[in-house]
Structure 1
């Protein structure tokens, strides 16, 4: 392999057949559903389409097919960039694309009933239970890097690809109820969502510092053996120190962007609630006005009626 450089991220491309097919199918189905909506005259926000196809699937394809994928088993620091994209950026962007809402609006009756049954099932409620998803999201990287799991993914292509899917799946379970707009179980109030995001900040910092302070190499003898074959590789311990710093710094940066997104959603939800309350109060005021008008008309009719006069 040529020495790694920032330009290599954009020049050393290669396709992972299974993941590439998954991306193409997911993008095709999403775009087809959007076309069906517009064909029947319904609107679908362009921002959601860009978030899901461009932001979510595009980032997934970039992380698993660009130079990041070419060097992710060669440099731990490159893998850590890929890790953050797959575990945070991809799930959040896909959640903002509202794929479940789109499916509910376009699926035929029977598949829609199946999807609704899945969403209301006990399994879905357990998998989206906020404390559980937070625990899984926090524990998963520790289990990956401080057990033999990561070393096994370096030596098996199948496990390596499954690790990519795992990172996205765990991130989706955690971030979809917090930042997504789909009607999935596990959704909580905005203050609690903010608290959940705040709890991830010390997690990334502590994990990054722990990786930086390790005296043993993550991956065992994998990276030293590669350095014997590729002399341009940096010292494995120095690269591991850089990987911990990437995990720490990028985690805080992405979390800050999520805070901004959640705050905007909170403001919009408050404005929508205020508009609903205004409409409710307007309906009540109109109903009271009609009642007063009707009572006033009855009183005037009674006042003009001559006592004892025959009714026609």
Structure 2
């Protein structure tokens, strides 16, 4: 049995369950797209967003299905690759698909008002603050890899699936706060979000480098595996965060300069008769 994991053959749910869940999610999104286009043929729905959702579900499928899923329980390098897909790449694709906006376009008026009220509620405003999203996504890595938590989770199938859910939800939350097209009433300006993204990039790099150097790491796995996993997280995280930065910059709409409504006082003084 691997030093850091558990046997993936008998105590983990089989691959059909995640495959069915992902297929159901993709079909549901496509049905909502069809409904949105029927309701408003002129406005329609972006094919780019539809492709983004399908790409996100495909990335989750790669992470949760063989051959990567069994490898993630036998080799820390597989876990690192799985973490990148579930926690960074798939969330970005899913968030850019604007699922909340799609719901708002397809729900009845009463349902849309209820959903809008939830989006403006204090708990949602607090959760979607960049500091909270950063703590849940990047800050949780410190607790996971620098305490005995990781080794405890890999020995419990239910806890391991809960870890997958945390990676996915926290990754979606951070991507939504930074560059999501869905409505976010408490979202700060682009400059502030760039600062939080920079902090996330730096923190992710520090975690990866500490893992590579073996400082304070609690991972029961061969050192070469941990170092290779740290490299996957370092370089893979950089690429994912650059993609997130590109998505953020693409939403930047500089404010038009205000035209002066009157001449400056100094100019009027110069042109005044003696």
When the two structures are superposed, what TM-score results if normalisation uses the length of structure 1? Answer: 0.73
In the alignment, is the contact (CA less than 8 A) between 2:146 and 2:216 conserved in 1? no
More helix by proportion, 1 or 2?
1
Unpaired runs of at least 5, structure 1: 2-13, 224-235, 282-312
- How far does residue 259 in structure 1 lie from its aligned partner after superposition? 2.1
Q: Does 1:34 align with 2:51?
A: no
- The whole-number CA distance in structure 2 between the counterparts of 1:17 and 1:146 is 33
In the alignment, is the contact (CA less than 8 A) between 1:80 and 1:243 conserved in 2? yes
- The whole-number CA distance in structure 1 between the counterparts of 2:209 and 2:172 is 25
- How far does residue 124 in structure 1 lie from its aligned partner after superposition? 0.4
- How far does residue 154 in structure 1 lie from its aligned partner after superposition? 1.4
Q: Does 1:43 align with 2:15?
A: no
Q: Which one is further off, 42-51 or 243-252?
A: 243-252
Corresponding position of 1:256: 242
- How far does residue 138 in structure 1 lie from its aligned partner after superposition? 2.4
Larger Rg: 1
Corresponding position of 2:15: 16
Q: Are residues 193 and 185 of structure 1, via their aligned partners in 2, closer, same or farther at CA, if it must alter by over 3 Å?
A: same
1:205 is paired with a residue whose SS is: helix
In the alignment, is the contact (CA less than 8 A) between 2:129 and 2:177 conserved in 1? no
- How far does residue 147 in structure 1 lie from its aligned partner after superposition? 2.0
Q: Does 1:211 align with 2:211?
A: yes
In the alignment, is the contact (CA less than 8 A) between 1:98 and 1:181 conserved in 2? yes
Q: Which one is further off, 185-194 or 56-65?
A: 185-194
Instruction: Give the alignment of 1:158-307 within 5 angstroms.
Output: 158-214=158-214, 218-220=218-220, 223=221, 236-266=222-252, 269-270=253-254
- How far does residue 30 in structure 1 lie from its aligned partner after superposition? 0.9
- How far does residue 175 in structure 1 lie from its aligned partner after superposition? 1.4
- The whole-number CA distance in structure 2 between the counterparts of 1:174 and 1:255 is 11
**RCO greater where, 1 or 2, for CA within 8 Å and sep 6 or more?**
2
Q: Which one is further off, 44-53 or 104-113?
A: 104-113
In the alignment, is the contact (CA less than 8 A) between 2:211 and 2:217 conserved in 1? no
Q: Are residues 186 and 173 of structure 1, via their aligned partners in 2, closer, same or farther at CA, if it must alter by over 3 Å?
A: farther
- The whole-number CA distance in structure 1 between the counterparts of 2:53 and 2:75 is 29
- How far does residue 17 in structure 1 lie from its aligned partner after superposition? 4.2
- The whole-number CA distance in structure 1 between the counterparts of 2:164 and 2:173 is 15
Corresponding position of 1:143: 143
- How far does residue 144 in structure 1 lie from its aligned partner after superposition? 1.1
Corresponding position of 1:25: 24
Q: Are residues 137 and 67 of structure 1, via their aligned partners in 2, closer, same or farther at CA, if it must alter by over 3 Å?
A: same
Q: Does 1:103 align with 2:103?
A: yes
2:144 is paired with a residue whose SS is: helix
Report the number of matched residues. 246
Q: Does 1:52 align with 2:53?
A: yes
- Superimposed CA distance per residue, residues 110-160 of structure 1 (whole angstroms, 9 cap, x where no aligned partner): 322221121111110111111121122222111111223211221121111
When the two structures are superposed, what TM-score results if normalisation uses the length of structure 2? Answer: 0.82
- Superimposed CA distance per residue, residues 60-106 of structure 1 (whole angstroms, 9 cap, x where no aligned partner): 11111132111001110111011111111111111100000000000
In the alignment, is the contact (CA less than 8 A) between 1:34 and 1:44 conserved in 2? yes
Unpaired runs of at least 5, structure 2: 2-12, 260-274
In the alignment, is the contact (CA less than 8 A) between 1:68 and 1:82 conserved in 2? yes
Corresponding position of 2:89: 89
